[in-house]
Amino acid sequence: MASVVSHQAIGSIVSHRQSNFKASHFIKEQPLNVTMKLRHRGFKIEATASQIPVLDDTLLSPSKNIPLSYKKKSKEASLILIRHGESLWNEKNLFTGCVDVPLTEKGVAEAIEAGRRISNIPVDLIFTSSLIRAQMTAMLAMTQHRCKKVPIILHDESEKAQTWSHVFSEETRKQSIPVIAAWQLNERMYGELQGLNKEETAERYGTQQVHEWRRSYHIPPPKGESLEMCAERAVAYFEDNIQPELAFGNNVMIAAHGNSLRSIIMYLDKLTSQEVTSLELSTGLPLLYIFKDRKFMRRGSPVGPTEAGVYAYTKKLAQYREKLDETQTVTN
């Protein structure tokens, strides 16, 4: 019998490697795929209090595409996972999958509350899916962050998109947080179930059949993806693009979906295919992990902006909060 694993506290056919930038712009010192692109775009991720880069040629590469000789490591980095707030089709009890629908009023409130919960946790880089409900969640959450930086979605789909979205002010770039949108983090594609009412579908096909489509690891719905197929793309993207950023010391937030996040949590917590099918994720509730010594440690969900909770997990994070307080005192 599958053991029940509950996280009440989650409360692009190619990856983002394409580049039209000149080789002379490459900076060996910081060769990670996304970070290099941010440097090309003029974005420089400033070191936070939790980042102490150290050259280490012996560090095992978390990405097959990054030379070991280019590696740096930080003592620790934060990873925040947020499932998007309630969408309009969640409200209507419809299978949503990869259909691009926005948040409800409740979903907007959930995203804002998620932002309050993570407002003291450093964020250097944001990853979202290509779907609007995840992007809205990320953007709304950051309106509550104490750093007061503006999240900016990067557009690398064409040379014109890069040129037209370029930010020319160095000062403005320093006050911005890059947002990477990736289809690999999209919700599981539900095929012929997308747009159908869940209760009516259960009446038509039988409760057991629909349960297998929704909860089994290997069985996909008609012309859709199984959780296994979703995990293959989501975890591969995480390993190739997100984990290297954490290894470098960049603090990352991911705003995505129930199944893509379940897949990533399966990887982080080393769950079996049987355990992950019992994993429940609530909308709009963040979960915090610490990446340290090449390991992921789950810290639970932040409880609120005025409570210590997970915020006091290290001396370095306490220093980061003090720095924010000093900055805001000067500003005010």
Walk me through the domains of the chain, giving residue ranges and CATH numbers. 76-307 (3.40.50.1240)
Single out the catalytic residue among 84, 113, 145, 245: 84
262-321 residue pLDDT tens: 999 999 999 999 999 888 888 888 999 999 999 999 988 775 544 433 433 444 555 555
Average pLDDT on 75-89 reads 95
**Residue 84, annotated as binding a ligand:** yes
84 is catalytic: yes
Confidence check: pLDDT of 40 > 50: no
Token representation of residue 57 = 């040629």
Share of the chain above pLDDT 90, in %: 63
**Residue 326, annotated as binding a ligand:** no
**Residue 195, annotated as binding a ligand:** no
118-149 residue pLDDT tens: 999 999 999 999 999 999 999 999 999 999 99
Single out the catalytic residue among 76, 110, 113, 187: 187
**Residue 198, annotated as binding a ligand:** yes
Average pLDDT on 185-196 reads 98
**Residue 85, annotated as binding a ligand:** yes
